[in-house]
Amino acid sequence: MPAPRQGSPLPAAGTARLRAAVVAVVSGLAALALVLTGCTPFLSPGSGPTPGTDTSATAGAPPELEKFYQQKVEWSSCENNLECTKVTVPVDYSKPGGDTIQLAVARLKGKNASSNLLVNPGGPGVSAIDLVRDAGTTMFSDKLRSAYNLVGWDPRGVKRSAPVTCFDGPQEDARRQQNPDYSTDAGLEQAFAEQLKLIDACKANTGPILAHTDTISSAKDMDVIRAVAMGQSKLNYAGFSYGTLLGSTYAGLFPDRVGRFALDGALDPAMDSTQVTIGQAKGFEDALHAYVRSCISKSGCPMGGNENDAVTQIQALLQSVKEQPMPTTQGRVLPGTDFVNGFILPLYNNTNWPVLTQALTSAFRGDGTAMLRLADLAADRDSNGTYSSNSTYAFMAYNCLDYNTASDTTSMRNEADQLRQASPTFGDFFAFGGVNCRDWPAKPVRTPSPAHYTGGSTILVVGTTGDPATPYPWAQSLRSELGNASLLTWNGEGHTAYGRGSSCIDGAVDGFLVDGKVPKDGMRC
DSSP line for 215-233: HHHHHHHHHHHIIIII--S
pLDDT at residue 61 greater than cutoff 90: no
* Residue environment code for 246-274, b if the CB has 16+ CB neighbours within 10 A, otherwise e: bbbbbbbebeebbbbbbbbbbbbbebebb
Mean pLDDT for all residues in the chain: 90
Please give the single-letter amino acid code of residue 74: E
The residues near 47 (Cβ < 8 Å, ≥ 6 apart) are 74, 75
Pairwise CA distance, residues 373 & 175, whole Å: 16
Q: What is the mean pLDDT of residues 407-411?
A: 96
Q: Name the pairing type of β-strands 83-90 and 21-26.
A: unpaired
**Helix, coil or strand: residue 265:** coil
pLDDT > 90? residue 427: yes
Residue range 41-61: average pLDDT? 51
> 3-state class of 32 per DSSP?
strand
Band of residue 30 on the pLDDT scale cut at 50, 70, 90: very low
* Helix and strand counts by DSSP (H, E) for the chain: 19, 12
Nearest to 120 by CA among 256, 8, 225: 225
Q: What is the pLDDT of residues 71-84, one digit of tens each?
A: 999 999 998 889 99
**Strand (E) or helix (H) holding 246:** helix 242-253
Catalytic residue among 467, 477, 486, 510: 467
Q: What pLDDT, on the 0 to 100 scale, is given for residue 18?
A: 41
pLDDT band at 365 (very low <50, low <70, confident <90, very high): very high
Residue 55: per-residue pLDDT: 64
The active-site residue out of 161, 389, 495, 506 is 495
Q: How far is CA 15 from CA 124, 126, 297, 378, in A?
A: 11, 9, 28, 11
Q: What is the pLDDT of residue 58?
A: 82
pLDDT of residue 14: 39
Per-residue pLDDT at 2 exceeds 50:
no
Q: What is the mean pLDDT of residues 145-168?
A: 97
Q: In angstroms, rounded to a whole number, what is the distance separating the alpha carbons of residues 129 and 107? A: 8
- Compute the average pLDDT of residues 188-196: 96
Which of 70-74, 177-181, 410-414 shows the lowest per-residue confidence on average (mean pLDDT)? 177-181
Q: Work out the pLDDT band at 41, boundaries 50, 70, 90.
A: very low
Percent of the chain scoring above 90 in pLDDT = 86
Q: What are the backbone dihedrals phi and psi of residue 324, each rounded to the nearest 5 degrees, phi first?
A: -140, 105
pLDDT band, residue 129 (cuts 50/70/90): very high
Lowest model confidence (mean pLDDT) among 22-31, 368-377, 379-388: 22-31
Does the global pTM surpass 0.85? Answer: yes
Of 161, 221, 215, give the one whose Cα is nearest residue 398: 215
**d(Cα 365, Cα 8) in Å, to the nearest integer?**
29
What percent of the chain has pLDDT above 70? 90
| pLDDT reported for residue 11 | 41
Give the whole-angstrom CA distance, residue 34 versus residue 28: 17
Cα 407 to Cα 443: distance, rounded to the nearest angstrom: 13
Give the per-residue pLDDT at 16. Answer: 41
Question: Residue 111 — φ and ψ, nearest 5°?
Answer: -60, -45
Residue 13's pLDDT is: 37
Distance CA 420, CA 228 (A): 48
Helix (H) or strand (E) holding 115: strand 115-120
Q: Could you say which of 127, 161, 233, 241 is catalytic?
A: 241
Q: Is the pLDDT of residue 146 over 70?
A: yes
pLDDT at 54: 67
Q: What's the mean pLDDT in 306-313?
A: 98
In this predicted structure, what is the pLDDT of residue 9?
A: 38
* Spatial distance between the Cα atoms of 299 and 220, rounded to a whole number of angstroms: 52
Distance from C-alpha of 438 to C-alpha of 35, rounded to nearest angstrom: 37
Does the pLDDT value for residue 34 go beyond 80?
no
* pLDDT at residue 60, rounded to an integer: 80
How much is the pLDDT for 6? 43
Choice among 76-85, 362-371, 454-463 with the minimum mean pLDDT: 76-85
Could you confirm whether 241 is annotated as catalytic?
yes
Pairing of strands 148-153, 100-108: antiparallel
511 Cα distance to chain centroid: 25
Residues, the chain = 525
467 among known catalytic residues = yes
What residue type is 39 in one-letter code? C
**CA dist., res. 427 & res. 114, Å (int):** 48
Of the candidates 59, 181, 176, 51, the residue with the CA atom closest to the CA atom of residue 116: 51
Q: Alpha carbon 467 to chain centroid distance?
A: 14
Give the mean pLDDT of 404-429.
96
Q: Specify whether 449 is catalytic.
A: no
CA distances from 436 to 186, 423, 440 (A): 17, 21, 8
Give the number of other Cβ atoms within 10 Å of residue 439's Cβ: 15
DSSP string, 237-293: EEEETHHHHHHHHHHHH-GGGEEEEEEES---TT--HHHHHHHHHHHHHHHHHHHHH
CA distance 35 to 310: 33
- Alpha helix segments (H runs only) across 4-156: 15-19, 66-69, 128-135, 142-147
Measured distance between the N- and C-terminal CA atoms of the chain, rounded to whole angstroms: 29
Question: Please, what is the Cα angle at 451 between 450 and 457, to 5 degrees?
Answer: 155
Q: Is the pLDDT of residue 1 over 80?
A: no
Contact 470, 462 (CB under 8 A): no
pLDDT band (50, 70, 90) for residue 32: very low
What are the residues whose beta carbons fall under 8 Å from the beta carbon of 319, sequence distance 6 or more? none
Give the sheet arrangement for strand 100-108, strand by strand.
76-77, 83-90, 100-108, 148-153, 115-120, 235-240, 258-264, 459-466, 485-493, 523-524
Check whether 368 has a pLDDT greater than 80.
Answer: yes
- How far apart CA 175 and CA 335 sit, in angstroms, is 11
Rounded distance, CA 117 to CA 514, Å? 10
Distance CA 511, CA 206 (A): 42
Say whether the peptide bond before residue 90 is cis (omega within 30 degrees of 0).
no
Per-residue pLDDT, 136: 82
Determine whether 407 is exposed, middle or buried from the number of CB atoms within 10 Å of its CB (0-12, 13-18, 19+). Answer: middle
